[in-house]
Amino acid sequence: MRGRLEITKRMLRENQAWAQERVARDPDFFLRNAGSQSPDVLWIGCADSRVPAEYTINAQPGELFVHRNIANLVTESDLNVMSVLQYAVVELKVKHIVVCGHHGCGGVRASMAAERKDLPYVNRKLEPLRALYRLHAHEINLLEDDIKRVNRLVELNVFEQVRNLTRNDVVQQAWQATQTLLLHGWIYDICNGKLSELVTVGAKRG
């Protein structure tokens, strides 16, 4: 327990060091950023601690607008992801939306197993993913090992979430207004830290 409590103290110490080091390299960095933000990219990723969005692409503060949830789902009934999406597209006018899934996703794995009675919120959240699994169970279950089955559903889930975005009214209205908005489906490999692109949808305008 003591070790776990120490973690937050270490985090605050590390933050002091990080902020000082950032200013040493670029004295006006935080002052420049404090005025406003204009990120070009909305990142919708998994909440998994092993997939820290900014780290994986060497992004600096101000570069990414980020939403993360279990299994990177884009569900219209989820006010959290919908409000982030709306603000990013309508107000910030991001040019790209990245949906990033990752191999070995615990949320995806959970959606392929029996529901756990002690996790009712998680169960509700994963309902669309369970439906996707049922739809593709025949193909997925032909794969010989568990890791491949999970990773196949991870990929299908990224395609599905990008598809959800293409049908979303916020995205549709941006496209009708000829706003540049590209949708990308990526996969992060937790075994080697590398991202790969599965799909890109949309067109560059102007």
Q: What are the residues binding Zn ion (CB under 5 A)? A: 46, 48, 105, 107
Please tell me which residue in 48, 67, 100, 184 is annotated as part of the active site.
Answer: 48
Among residues 13, 32, 50, 116, the one annotated as catalytic is: 50
Which residue, 48 or 171, is less far from Zn ion as judged by CB? 48
- CB 108 to Zn ion: min, Å: 7
Q: Closer to Zn ion by CB, 156 or 181: give it.
A: 156
User: Is 145 labeled as catalytic in the residue annotation?
Assistant: no
SS (H, E, C) the chain: CHHHHHHHHHHHHHHHHHHHHHHHHCCCHHHHHHHCCCCCEEEEEECCCCCCHHHHCCCCCCCEEEEEECCCCCCCCCHHHHHHHHHHHHHCCCCEEEEEEECCCHHHHHHCCCCCCCCHHHHHHCHHHHHHHHHHHHHHHCCCCHHHHHHHHHHHHHHHHHHHHHHCHHHHHHHHCCCCCEEEEEEEECCCCEEEEEEEECCCCC
CB of 65 to Zn ion, least distance (A): 20
105 catalytic residue (yes or no) = yes
Residue 10: CB minimum distance to Zn ion, A: 25
Q: Please say which residue, 105 or 181, places its beta carbon nearer to Zn ion.
A: 105
137 neighbors 129 (Cβ within 8 angstroms) = no
Q: Is 100 a catalytic residue?
A: no
Catalytic residue among 46, 67, 100, 103: 46
The structure tokens 């799909």 sit at 199
Nearest to Zn ion of 154, 171 (CB atom): 154
Tell me which of 100, 105, 149, 184 is the catalytic residue: 105
Provide the minimum distance between the beta carbon of 72 and Zn ion in the complex, in angstroms, as a whole number.
Answer: 7
Residues acting as catalytic residues: 46, 48, 50, 102, 105
